[in-house]
């Protein structure tokens, strides 16, 4: 099986190289037969990558400890499902996953465009092939997943880190990989458009769904990671500005900017250079994110020892940046805007400002991530920035961004008159102000930034609500029928727009959840002997005793806390500590969520009672944190609405770009 | 009177940049990142201010409050005692490399609550926070 796997990896490399070279030939000669062969090469590369994965999975499942990947990340007593997911616990294995997704995506792109974009696709294939060659080369020659353990075959593996033995391990990393890898498709199309000088909006139309898939996967992947951290890692939070979290956030921000500015180019033929810059930035940040996780250049919870692929990834990033930026500069003359920005009070301008803010935020995050390296280079000392730095920029760039979320979709294209602004925004503005005043009366003025964020959320929610109400009423006036039916028709007839509003709603939920749970949370710690109690935010928690239980490979010590609210018993919390037989200690937090308010009572056992001073517990009250997870669900729903195939949209595009389709059918 | 769009866009870009630079200049020069040896030798005044310390855990007891552990330099035999309160990451144990923020007081590194991070033992592992 090992030999089969190794051969499969070499085969992926060879096929990707063939596809890349063949695609260039097909592009230069406009040869459709060669192109067909390139298409088949991608399909074959995908199958080979699957075979390689299957071979490694076979090794993992059958405890083949002669393979160093298997030896280092599993052990005999590991449950089967974690043996399987430990494929991506190792860098070598995750490289295989990366390759499979990349070749699979390339195969789908080739199939989707077999009758479309005839001029563009060979160059798209060449770029995707080039990227696949690089990653296949890493797996084949630099960091082989099928390397053997030196010496005799060990009897048992060294085991998987306990924190990775978790169901989220099955979902969070693959989701992020899907996001990182599929960003290669918009990038490849952008490069293809530049090479062929076909820089009108067609390439954007072709990659819209791919960008959405990548962006959705990154977003959901991040939220899954946040939830994992919240319920398992156990410090009471869900986001710690770890460099590797930032690594996923940066391309997501760039992709968000891209998704918005694309609309300006489609409608107005503006921001063409800008869109190219955004695609290059998004893809480069994906590679950079991959580099961060693997290289150990920055201190992070995720990545640590220098690995062989680090310098290669950095080199690849340099090549990607140099090549794409020089291509962009050479092709600048083809990227003239069709229109000028007429007024700063227009939808174009609003989208531009939204883009600037998103990029500014991404840049601030990037600066924070590479700060240790920069400071070492500039001042000779390593220094890091911490949470306050990131929080500052999140507030200062994020709040205007949130305001634009409400303004952008409603403001007129070209130029909005003061009168129309007043008519459009009077109710949202009045509601936002009234909401803010009401919340201030409730005492939420303790955090000015929090109060501003919540008021803006009211503003945005009202604009979205008005859009749905107005659209549904208009629909019903035209077609009649019931309200729900009119609403469904409305969304169906313009998925992009109303799906977008649903995503905006998710952002509002996320902001409310993050604001409430960070700006208005309470924390307290106490040493509690049996019978003693502590109070926090209207809750009273009484220690009713310390207990022990044996698990399969650990001993659990937990304290039973009786919760009272308003003098009445209100459930039990049992935070504990797992003492693994290997000597490791694991937190076992206990969280009680209120479905109604989304507020969590979060308890951590910090130290059991060993010298009679009582157990050390930490308790947090995180208001509305449930909204963060709800936001993830709404986000996925909104994204799904916009991604879902839409025959009406396809017909419209065919009409608009009919000449292109007609030519390629010929 | 309509403002010229280009000018306004330039002003917006300028002000974003200004906010960024002002923050860097006013608040932030980062927290120094030092090894145990650098802390001991007071490199760059590391022993006099708040720093982020990295090292390997050699002795740890979770029973005392605040918790105590000893960090050893990664390339020499120098050590420093650390006093810490707050949540302890799952992967914390002796021989692990950790990162912790605080300052040196009377020879003991007094850590900020909840500032302890464990560096992962595996060559590469994804996931978690």
Give the mean pLDDT per block of 10 residues along chain A (666 residues).
92 97 93 93 97 95 92 86 88 90 95 88 96 95 90 85 81 92 96 92 88 96 92 82 87 96 89 94 93 65 56 92 96 88 86 94 91 78 80 93 92 85 91 94 90 96 94 90 90 91 96 92 88 91 92 87 90 88 78 89 84 84 94 96 84 68 42
| Rounded alpha-carbon distances, angstroms, from residue A50 to A105, A459, A636 | 13, 49, 27
pLDDT of residue A259: 94
* A142: Cα separation from own chain's centroid: 28
pLDDT of residue A649: 76
pLDDT of residue B64: 66
pLDDT of residue A399: 95
Among B6, B86, B90, select the one facing A162 at the smallest CB separation.
B90
Q: Is there a contact between A361 and A393 (Cβ–Cβ < 8 Å)?
A: yes
Label residue B62 by pLDDT band (50, 70, 90): low
pLDDT of residue A121: 93
Distance from C-alpha of A395 to C-alpha of A451, rounded to nearest angstrom? 12
- Best residue of A158, A168, A303 to probe chain B, by most B CBs closer than 10 Å: A303
Interchain contact B23–A (C-beta under 8 A): yes
Q: Which residues contact A101 (CB under 8 A, 6 or more apart)?
A: A177, A178, A181, A182
pLDDT of residue B126: 35
Q: Which tens digits make up the pLDDT trace of B44-58?
A: 777 888 888 888 888
- Give the chain A residue whose CA is nearest to the CA of B18: A360
| Rounded alpha-carbon distances, angstroms, from residue A343 to A27, A70, A340, A416 | 41, 61, 9, 8
User: What is the rounded radius of gyration, in angstroms, for the C-alpha atoms of chain B?
Assistant: 21
Residues in chain A: 666
Q: Is there a contact between A439 and A454 (Cβ–Cβ < 8 Å)?
A: yes
Distance from C-alpha of A609 to C-alpha of A607, rounded to nearest angstrom? 7
| Rounded alpha-carbon distances, angstroms, from residue A379 to A102, A373, B49, B98 | 40, 10, 17, 24
Residue B85 burial by Cβ neighbours in a 10 Å radius (0-12, 13-18, 19+): buried
- Give the chain B residue whose CA is nearest to the CA of A87: B125
Contact B6 A372 (CB under 8 A): no
**Which tokens belong to A634?**
């709404």
pLDDT of residue A654: 73
Give the Cα-Cα-Cα angle B96, B98, B103 (nearest 5 degrees): 140
Using DSSP bridges, classify how beta strands B79-84 and B67-72 pair: parallel, antiparallel or unpaired: antiparallel
Interface of B with A in 41-60 (CB under 8 A): 44, 52, 54
CATH H superfamily, domain B32-118: Nucleic acid-binding proteins (2.40.50.140)
| Rounded alpha-carbon distances, angstroms, from residue A347 to A301, A406, A421, B66, B127 | 41, 11, 12, 56, 39
> Among A525-534, A571-580, B61-70, B94-103, which is the least confidently predicted range?
B61-70
pLDDT of residue A378: 77
Contact A586 B90 (CB under 8 A): yes
| Rounded alpha-carbon distances, angstroms, from residue A247 to A104, A222, A313, A363, A482 | 24, 10, 14, 12, 46
| SS3 (DSSP) at A110 | helix
Q: Is there a contact between A523 and A236 (Cβ–Cβ < 8 Å)?
A: yes
Residue A128 burial by Cβ neighbours in a 10 Å radius (0-12, 13-18, 19+): buried
Q: Where are the domains of chain A?
A: 1-165, 426-521+627-666, 522-622
Which residues partner with A543 through β-bridges? A561
pLDDT of residue A52: 96
pLDDT of residue B3: 62
Q: Where are the domains of chain B?
A: 1-29, 32-118
Residues of B in contact with A228 (CB under 8 A): 127-129
* A393: Cα separation from own chain's centroid: 19
Contact B129 A371 (CB under 8 A): no
Between A189 and B13, whose confidence is greater? A189
**Which tokens belong to A273?**
């250079």
- Best residue of A78, A348, A360 to probe chain B, by most B CBs closer than 10 Å: A360
Distance from C-alpha of A609 to C-alpha of A124, rounded to nearest angstrom? 63
pLDDT of residue A222: 95
First to last CA, chain B: 52
- DSSP 8-class letter at A303: B
CA proximity to B125, closest of A553, A94, A181: A94
pLDDT of residue B123: 35
Residues of B in contact with A234 (CB under 8 A): 87, 90
Residues of B in contact with A236 (CB under 8 A): 87
CA proximity to B91, closest of B57, B43, B40: B57
Distance from C-alpha of A264 to C-alpha of A272, rounded to nearest angstrom? 9
Quickly list DSSP for A77-96: TS-HHHHHHGGGTSHHHHHH
pLDDT of residue A245: 83
- Best residue of A302, A397, A620 to probe chain B, by most B CBs closer than 10 Å: A302
Contact A229 B128 (CB under 8 A): yes
| Rounded alpha-carbon distances, angstroms, from residue A267 to A264, A347, A348, A352, A496 | 5, 11, 10, 14, 14
Percent of chain B past pLDDT 90, that is, above it, reads: 2
pLDDT of residue A657: 67
Examine the pLDDT at B1 and tell me if it is beyond 50. Answer: no
Q: Which residue has the tokens 């030798």?
A: B41
Q: Is there a contact between A247 and A198 (Cβ–Cβ < 8 Å)?
A: no
- Give the chain A residue whose CA is nearest to the CA of B96: A584
Quickly list DSSP for A197-239: T--STHHHHHHHHHHHHHHHHHHHHHHHHHHHIIIII-SS-S-
Examine the pLDDT at B125 and tell me if it is beyond 70. Answer: no
Closest-CA distance, A648 to chain B, in angstroms, reads 36
| Rounded alpha-carbon distances, angstroms, from residue A34 to A20, A21, A29, A125, A444 | 11, 10, 9, 12, 66
Quickly list DSSP for A136-177: HHIIIIIS-TTPBPSSSPPSS-----GGG-SGGGGTHHHHHH
Count how many pairs of residues, chain A against chain B, have C-beta atoms within 8 Å: 191
Interface of B with A in 107-126 (CB under 8 A): 114, 117-126
Q: Which residue has the tokens 């978690």?
A: B128
Distance from C-alpha of A445 to C-alpha of A451, rounded to nearest angstrom? 6
ipTM over 0.90: no
pLDDT of residue A646: 79
Contact B62 A304 (CB under 8 A): no
Distance from C-alpha of A536 to C-alpha of A524, rounded to nearest angstrom? 7
Contact A618 B87 (CB under 8 A): yes
- Orientation of helix A309-330 relative to helix A184-196, angle to 10°: 40
Q: Which residues contact A454 (CB under 8 A, 6 or more apart)?
A: A435, A436, A439, A444, A512, A515, A516
Q: Is there a contact between B70 and B58 (Cβ–Cβ < 8 Å)?
A: yes
User: In the predicted model, what is the mean pLDDT of residues B3-19?
Assistant: 82
């Amino acid at each position: 099986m090992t030999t089969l796997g190794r051969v499969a990896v070499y085969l992926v490399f060879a096929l990707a190289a063939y596809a890349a070279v063949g695609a260039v030939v097909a592009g230069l000669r406009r040869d459709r037969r060669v192109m067909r062969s390139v298409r088949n090469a991608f399909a074959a590369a995908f199958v080979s990558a699957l075979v390689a994965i299957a071979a490694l999975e076979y090794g993992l499942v059958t405890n083949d400890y002669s393979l160093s990947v298997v030896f280092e990340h599993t052990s005999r007593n590991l449950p089967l499902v974690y043996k399987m997911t430990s494929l991506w616990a190792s860098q070598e294995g995750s490289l295989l996953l990366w390759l499979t997704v990349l070749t699979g995506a390339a195969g789908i792109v080739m199939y989707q465009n077999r009758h479309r974009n005839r001029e563009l696709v060979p160059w798209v294939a060449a770029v995707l092939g080039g990227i696949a060659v690089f990653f296949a080369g890493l797996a084949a020659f630099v960091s082989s997943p099928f390397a053997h353990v030196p010496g005799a075959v060990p009897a048992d593996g060294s085991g998987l880190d306990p924190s990775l033995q978790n169901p989220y391990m099955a979902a969070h990393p693959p989701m992020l990989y899907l996001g990182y890898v599929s960003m290669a498709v918009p990038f490849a199309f952008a490069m293809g458009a530049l090479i062929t000088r076909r820089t009108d909006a067609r390439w954007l139309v072709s990659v819209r769904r791919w960008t959405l898939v990548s962006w959705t996967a990154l977003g959901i992947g991040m939220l899954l990671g946040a939830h994992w951290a919240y319920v398992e890692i156990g410090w009471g939070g869900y986001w710690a500005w770890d460099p590797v979290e930032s690594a996923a956030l940066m391309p997501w921000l760039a992709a968000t900017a891209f998704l918005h500015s694309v609309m300006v180019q489609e409608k107005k033929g503006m921001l063409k250079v800008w869109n190219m810059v955004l695609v290059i930035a998004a893809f480069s940040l994906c590679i950079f994110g991959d580099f961060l996780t693997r290289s150990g250049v920055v201190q992070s919870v995720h990545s640590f020892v220098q690995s062989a692929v680090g310098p290669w990834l950095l080199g690849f990033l340099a090549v990607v940046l140099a090549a794409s930026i020089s291509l962009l500069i050479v092709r600048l003359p083809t990227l003239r805007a069709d229109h000028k920005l007429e007024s700063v009070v227009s939808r174009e301008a609003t989208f531009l400002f939204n883009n600037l803010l998103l990029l500014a935020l991404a840049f601030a995050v990037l600066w924070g991530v590479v700060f240790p390296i920069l400071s070492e280079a500039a001042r000779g000392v390593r220094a890091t920035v911490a949470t306050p730095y990131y929080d500052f920029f999140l507030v200062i760039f994020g709040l205007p961004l949130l305001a634009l979320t409400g303004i952008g979709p409603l403001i007129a294209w070209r130029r909005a008159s003061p009168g129309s602004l007043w008519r459009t925004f009077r109710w949202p503005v009045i509601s936002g102000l009234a909401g803010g005043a009401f919340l201030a009366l409730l005492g939420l003025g303790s955090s000015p930034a929090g109060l501003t964020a919540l008021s803006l959320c009211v503003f945005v929610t009202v604009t979205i609500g008005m859009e749905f109400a107005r659209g549904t009423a208009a629909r019903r006036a035209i077609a009649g029928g019931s309200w729900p039916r009119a609403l469904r028709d409305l969304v169906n007839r313009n998925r992009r727009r109303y799906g977008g509003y649903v995503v905006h709603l998710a952002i509002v939920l996320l902001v409310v959840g993050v604001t409430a749970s960070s700006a208005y949370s309470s924390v307290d710690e106490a040493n509690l002997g049996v019978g003693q109690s502590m109070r926090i935010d209207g809750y009273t928690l009484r220690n009713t005793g310390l207990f022990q239980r044996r698990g399969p490979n650990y001993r659990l010590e937990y304290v039973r806390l009786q919760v009272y609210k308003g003098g009445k018993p209100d459930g039990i919390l049992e935070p504990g500590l797992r003492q693994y037989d290997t000597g490791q200690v694991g937190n076992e937090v206990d969280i009680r969520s209120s479905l109604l308010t989304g507020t969590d009572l979060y308890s951590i056992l910090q130290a059991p009672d060993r010298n009679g001073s009582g157990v050390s517990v930490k308790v947090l009250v995180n208001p509305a944190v449930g909204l963060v997870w709800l936001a993830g669900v709404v986000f996925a729903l909104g994204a799904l609405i916009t991604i879902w195939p839409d025959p009406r949209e396809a017909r419209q595009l065919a009409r608009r770009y009919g000449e292109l389709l007609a030519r390629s059918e010929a | 009177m309509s403002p010229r769009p280009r000018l306004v866009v330039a002003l917006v870009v300028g002000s974003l940049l200004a906010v960024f630079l002002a923050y860097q200049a006013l608040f932030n020069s980062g927290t120094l990142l030092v090894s145990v040896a650098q802390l001991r030798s007071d490199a760059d005044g590391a022993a006099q201010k708040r720093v982020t310390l990295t090292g390997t855990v050699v002795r740890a007891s979770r029973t005392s409050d605040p918790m105590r552990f000893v960090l050893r330099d990664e390339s020499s035999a120098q050590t420093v005692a650390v006093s810490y309160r707050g949540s302890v990451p799952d992967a914390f144990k002796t021989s692990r490399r950790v990162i912790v923020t605080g300052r040196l007081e009377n020879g003991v590194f007094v850590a900020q609550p909840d500032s302890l991070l464990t560096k992962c033992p595996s060559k590469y592992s994804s996931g978690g926070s």
